[in-house]
A and B are shown apart, each in its own frame.
Chain A
């Protein structure tokens, strides 16, 4: 474990050196997608009292959606890419567990995602004249969400590991996009029952909490139940994700499909 950070940081530095040219188109893509979501939600909800608070609410959902996609990319997608190339088997020949390698990778890539999202928030803030994060406790919510996000990514990585068919994997990817769409919908249009169900998923719960903190200006100490729910579900997702990944890894070894090159 001692040199794992050294190894992954070196790999990340190499990766980031090739990134500057790719980041600009990525930021433009992010903004166009956000603009489309924002525009669609205005059409769905209609003329709201404050379009700025709607933009802020959309932006908060978008930030969590972005983090979720980034976590999936740095764990599940990254694992599948390595599996197809043949390097995934070599990672198994390490003196550290495969989970540790991908977790450290995800944490290091989180730095990259934070840099991108901060730049993006500044751009959106300037264009739409909105301040998205007004409450410092938002950072705490994001931090608590992290294990849940990684757990979700490991869960997906486990499912992908057990699949041989490329078609099945494509369908899974589509399903994930669909499942994460509610993050982009302002929860006020959802029924209380649906909202209650969503609150047991850390991604949705964190979006709802961030909106309460930053838009409705409700202090964190008045959201004790929400907070506890977020902590518990986030840890639970993390544990379940790792367990499923472990089971999948063992099954893949049994079937001899760790490498699919």
Chain B
């Protein structure tokens, strides 16, 4: 992967209110986003994701910290930098409801220094991809929530931005469109760098190159989905074993430090066993015992942990588990 840094945020801090009512929304958040990567911001409601995104876009001024986009200090060069950024903001109206989709795309492209002619082809291409081509001449206010979201996505993409910041882009989308957007996001990586935030953990896990988990304004974890999995979850396997005698091997398994039997079902000639390993290499000790007692593993399943559980562990302070 190209290591060129597109966006760098250092030690961002933001407190809203003063005195007893003061709320620290963001507390020392730092991260860097590399070129052509999909970087995800993840966190529960009120974690500080949207405030962080708004600070990146200079819609909220940080109390402390610095932001660099394309190597330039924000907000000094904001106007120039905005030509290269496509955005989708959560909760706000991304478009004018009394204008058609086409008019909205042209309007916001114009405000980003692009002519209607420059964005026309791209707009039509994305509209076709998102199956909204027949809605281009309709007023946005008359469209469904999902269609409005699609129109906003087209608006963000039509200017061919080098950096896309998409806050809750799956909001209001149906299942089929979600899959299409998922595919689209992966393809966009070829032409753009993406910062995304979403509550959909499955989506984030599938599309992101790196994930930053924020909770109560602080970074609690950062890494690829598999790195986060390794940090938080123990290796967990289900074995189906063929045995010749009584299950005496179980006593020896229990004696290995760092291996826990979390499930056992014994039959006449087969056992089903679920083992949790503190360290993945402990599996060799287990195989030694299997050999010693002539137990043959006929099936091994890696159980892992659902990403939701990993996320929950981090948010609930499970990083030190």
Please encode chain A, from 117 to 138, with 1 for each CB lying within 8 Å of some chain B CB and 0 for all others. Answer: 0000000000000000000000
Look across to chain B and name the residue whose beta carbon is closest to the beta carbon of A92.
Answer: B59
**Min C-beta distance of A89 to chain B, whole Å:** 5
Interface membership of A166, Cβ < 8 A: no
Inter-chain contact B103/A18, CB cutoff 8 Å: no
In Å, the complex CA distance between A94 and B113 comes to 8
> Which residues of B lie under 8 Å from residue A3 when comparing CB positions?
109-111, 113-115
**Min C-beta distance of B23 to chain A, whole Å:** 10
Taking each of A95, A250, A259, which has the highest tally of chain B beta carbons within 10 Å of its own beta carbon? A95
Stretch at the interface among B90-98, B190-198, B227-235: B90-98
**Interface members, chain B 7-60 (any A CB < 8 Å):** 14, 16, 25, 51, 54, 57-60
Contacts A18-B98, A95-B82, A253-B60 given; indicate if A86 touches B16 (C-beta within 8 A). Answer: no
Contacts A255-B16, A256-B51, A256-B54 given; indicate if A90 touches B61 (C-beta within 8 A). Answer: no
Inter-chain contact A95/B83, CB cutoff 8 Å: yes
In Å, the complex CA distance between A105 and B111 comes to 13
Interface membership of A2, Cβ < 8 A: yes
Count residues of chain A with CB under 8 A from any CB of chain B: 31
In Å, the complex CA distance between A15 and B107 comes to 13
Interface membership of B80, Cβ < 8 A: yes
Inter-chain contact A96/B103, CB cutoff 8 Å: no
Name the one of A6, A93, A101 contacting B115, with C-beta atoms under 8 angstroms. A6
Taking each of B54, B60, B85, B109, which has the highest tally of chain A beta carbons within 10 Å of its own beta carbon? B60
Interface membership of A11, Cβ < 8 A: yes
> Which residues of B lie under 8 Å from residue A93 when comparing CB positions?
57, 59, 82, 85, 87, 112
Look across to chain B and name the residue whose beta carbon is closest to the beta carbon of A11.
Answer: B107
Taking each of B91, B103, B111, B115, which has the highest tally of chain A beta carbons within 10 Å of its own beta carbon? B111
Contacts A10-B106, A261-B91 given; indicate if A256 touches B111 (C-beta within 8 A). Answer: no
Interface membership of A40, Cβ < 8 A: no
Inter-chain contact B113/A89, CB cutoff 8 Å: no
**Min C-beta distance of A192 to chain B, whole Å:** 48
Interface membership of A42, Cβ < 8 A: no
Look across to chain B and name the residue whose beta carbon is closest to the beta carbon of A3.
Answer: B110
Name the one of A94, A95, A256 contacting B16, with C-beta atoms under 8 angstroms. A256
**Interface members, chain A 59-91 (any B CB < 8 Å):** 85-87, 89-91
Selected A-B contacts with CB under 8 Å, 9 pairs: A3-B114, A4-B111, A89-B54, A93-B59, A94-B111, A95-B111, A254-B60, A256-B16, A259-B59
Using A3-B109, A10-B110, A258-B59 as known contacts, list a sample of 5 further A-B pairs with CB atoms less than 8 Å apart, ordered by residue number in A.
Answer: A11-B96, A95-B80, A250-B61, A253-B60, A256-B60
